[in-house]
């Protein structure tokens, strides 16, 4: 069984990083506790809001990548895959550079460095077989198909809704505890604990 997993906001969590980066730029009131979605909506209400939002993303996924934290429950899931002998690959849609990033940080390298530091590629750690960073969503979906993933886990419904998504691959959507569950040609779960139990049902 090959299990494919998305990277941003499925394995790597950035909500707190978005808050810190937006406050540092004075784009968010100091008292705000908002997560990624609230910040996006706040910025889009400002002058040049769409550009601000893209700049912030470039900084968070690049220079500030070391501040990301694993999404709750992902570590337990990966550890279980290892003990069960399931191969795990990470397949991510990620551009090579962030938009409007003056530092020209290489986003794929930043993500790999973070993964290495967390033990993703360590056979005694999470033992992830490979990570693929595809510059386009079509590339990501083609990769999932070419690898023959039996299961794919993603926080974005759009990935599962793409007509090119491989029909034979089981689609598990990580909705997140704060959001409502999604509805579509996929199973939607509030968190990793529920995804763990769906993939590894109690005997």
Binding site for Mg ion (CB under 5 A): 6, 8-10, 155
For residue 173, the minimal CB distance to Mg ion (Å) is 11
β-sheet bridge partners, residue 8: 12
For residue 60, the minimal CB distance to Mg ion (Å) is 13
For residue 96, the minimal CB distance to Mg ion (Å) is 17
Residue placing its CB nearer to Mg ion in the complex, 32 or 75:
75
Residue placing its CB nearer to Mg ion in the complex, 9 or 32:
9
Cβ burial, residue 26 (10 Å; 0-12/13-18/19+): exposed
Residue placing its CB nearer to Mg ion in the complex, 22 or 159:
159
Q: Provide the 3-class DSSP secondary structure of residue 8.
A: strand
Q: What secondary structure letter does DSSP report for 46?
A: S
Residue placing its CB nearer to Mg ion in the complex, 14 or 86:
14
The pair of structure tokens assigned to 70 is 């694993």
The pair of structure tokens assigned to 104 is 């020209």
Q: What φ, ψ does residue 29 adopt, rounded to 5°?
A: -55, 145
- Token pair 């990301």 is found at 68
For residue 26, the minimal CB distance to Mg ion (Å) is 28
For residue 29, the minimal CB distance to Mg ion (Å) is 27
For residue 11, the minimal CB distance to Mg ion (Å) is 9
β-sheet bridge partners, residue 189: 174
Residue placing its CB nearer to Mg ion in the complex, 8 or 101:
8
Assess contact for 65 and 113: CB atoms under 8 A: yes
Residue placing its CB nearer to Mg ion in the complex, 90 or 199:
90
Assess contact for 21 and 64: CB atoms under 8 A: yes
The pair of structure tokens assigned to 144 is 């999932």
């Amino acid at each position: 069984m090959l299990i494919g997993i998305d990277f941003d906001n499925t394995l790597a969590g950035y909500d707190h990083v978005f808050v810190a980066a937006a406050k540092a730029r004075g784009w968010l009131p100091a008292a705000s506790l908002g997560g990624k979605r609230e910040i996006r909506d706040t910025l889009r209400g400002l002058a040049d809001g769409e550009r601000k939002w893209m700049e912030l993303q470039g900084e968070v996924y690049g220079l500030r990548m070391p501040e990301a934290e694993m999404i709750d429950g992902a570590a337990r899931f990966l550890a279980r895959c290892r003990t069960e002998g399931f191969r795990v690959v990470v397949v991510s849609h990620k551009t090579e550079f962030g938009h409007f990033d003056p530092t020209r940080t290489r986003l794929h390298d930043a993500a790999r460095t973070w993964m290495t530091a967390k033990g993703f590629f360590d056979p005694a750690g999470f033992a992830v077989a490979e990570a693929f960073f595809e510059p386009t969503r079509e590339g990501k979906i083609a990769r999932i198909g070419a690898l023959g993933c039996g299961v794919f886990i993603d926080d974005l419904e759009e990935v599962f809704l793409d007509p090119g998504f491989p029909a034979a691959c089981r689609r598990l959507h990580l909705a997140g505890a704060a959001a409502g569950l999604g509805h579509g040609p996929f199973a939607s779960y509030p968190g990793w604990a529920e995804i763990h139990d769906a993939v590894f049902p109690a005997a």
